[in-house]
A = this chain, B = another copy of it.
């Protein structure tokens, strides 16, 4: 609908490039409400496919969807001290409704722990009622000062999982299980290899005992937190009195978790894979996986070419490939290529009269490369191309991440990196808030995670990168969105 515009190269201005890609692919647009966006059909279709993928994994791990109210009494937020301190400053508050001032203001949910624990207290009586494994797909509002489409918007869409368990062990297991689900989704669907680990107390969720996170590395070498999984201990259970009768007859507070991922994932997808032509979308999440572009000059050719195009569409659709034919008249093939490349369609099939005569089509990959394919093998070869693109994107992103990770960094190297190339910097950490804050102050880098075992360096750092004291752990620093 909008006239396509040129895209600022990444190397020139990454933030502008990001916005240009979004506009050209018609993924989203700025809304006439501060910090809010409209998710346009092409962007929303990616979100629907993400939802399908994640929701299937949530259900396979025993979770059920539900829906809790948007508006939360302000007093609920205040029941968990850390929680209200973290969220109150960024809430939007309904003070008037039905033409009257409300007696108690209602907060537009920034997250739903409080309203959910108010209900769980009512529903849970005995150990037989546990575990409770819930999830909801909803909108939330956080009044952010600096916003960016998909990455940080005043309102965003997300899922929030909330679970309650009889034991600490079970809740801790659940926290890690869901971190693993996110990681699998990001690697297998988004083609985005992530780094996982635990947050420092400074960076954890307000109200959690411990926060785990999945972090992706974007093409500008900044980190993006893509999902978090919180072990909440008994914090919310105590704040809301969520107790159960144990098998032995005593009363205990439930142990709980929450975990979330949002439309920010779309921002991560864009920044991880796209190029200066526009969006590159992993095939598993592409609204269209294949666009067929018929090429003709005469009316006679048009009939022939359209017939073959329609047939290809039917065959691909029957194999559950998302495909369409660009039948628009009065538009040159080159203009069509340009449009679908900008929208990130992974495979283009071009069919002209000579292709029809030779029973073939030209298969062009959004990630580069073009080859003729015999029509009789088109389903198989398109399927293979889609698989290759999916795998290739993940491999490229993994190589980038490794190439842009520095391990065993010294203080000077940490500073130098954060002043220039950035990326993930692994180094020793003494665990003190003082060092963490000093590094942030000096370099603008934050500890993204204390990495999980498999991401830890072969040689465990012995000294804190900042103070030189004994390191208690390895940490990964990056400049983050």
Contact = CB atoms under 8 A, between A and B. Distances in A.
Interface string A134-175: 100011010101000000001101000000000000000000
A33 B66 contact: no
A66 B94 contact: no
A145 B70 contact: no
Interface stretch (A96-104, A334-342, A457-465): A96-104
Interface residues of A, number: 59
Given A32-B76, A33-B72, A47-B67, 15 more contacts: A1-B125, A29-B119, A29-B123, A32-B115, A32-B118, A44-B67, A67-B157, A70-B141, A89-B98, A90-B98, A92-B98, A93-B94, A93-B96, A95-B95, A96-B105
A65 B157 CA distance: 14
Contacts of A73: 32-33
Nearest to A69: B36
- A contact patch SS: mixed
A64 interface: yes
Interface in A69-117: 69-73, 76, 88-99, 105-106, 108, 115
A357 B88 CA distance: 64
A298 interface: no
A45 interface: yes
A26 to B, nearest CB: 9
A383 to B, nearest CB: 23
Contacts of A29: 119, 122-123
A231 to B, nearest CB: 23
Interface in A22-55: 29, 31-33, 36-41, 44-45, 47-48
Given A92-B97, A94-B93, A141-B70, A64 B37 contact: no
21 contacts: A1-B125, A29-B123, A33-B71, A36-B71, A38-B68, A39-B67, A41-B65, A44-B67, A45-B64, A67-B157, A70-B139, A70-B155, A71-B92, A89-B99, A92-B97, A92-B98, A93-B96, A95-B95, A95-B96, A99-B143, A139-B139
Interface of A: 1-2, 29, 31-33, 36-41, 44-45, 47-48, 64-73, 76, 88-99, 105-106, 108, 115, 118-119, 122-125, 129, 134, 138-139, 141, 143, 145, 154-155, 157
A44 B65 contact: yes
Contacts of A157: 67
A250 to B, nearest CB: 19
B106 A69 contact: no
Contacts of A33: 69, 71-73, 106, 115
A19 to B, nearest CB: 16
A72 B457 CA distance: 50
A426 B157 CA distance: 46
A119 to B, nearest CB: 6
Contacts of A66: 38-41, 44
Contacts of A122: 29
Contacts of A98: 89-92, 143, 145
Contacts of A65: 41, 44-45, 48
Given A29-B119, A32-B118, A123-B2, A67 B38 contact: yes
A124 B48 CA distance: 24
Contact of A68 (B31, B76, B138): B31
Given A89-B99, A106-B92, A44 B70 contact: no
A330 to B, nearest CB: 10
A6 B69 CA distance: 28
Given A33-B69, A106-B33, A155-B70, A124 B1 contact: yes
Contacts of A141: 70-71
Given A29-B122, A31-B119, A123-B1, A143 B67 contact: no
A129 B67 contact: no
Name, among A31, A45, A47, A76, the residue most crowded by chain B CB atoms within 10 Å (CB to CB): A31
Contacts of A39: 66-67
A241 to B, nearest CB: 13
Contacts of A124: 1
Contacts of A38: 66-69, 119
Contacts of A143: 97-99
Nearest to A132: B1
Nearest to A263: B67
Contacts of A99: 88-89, 143
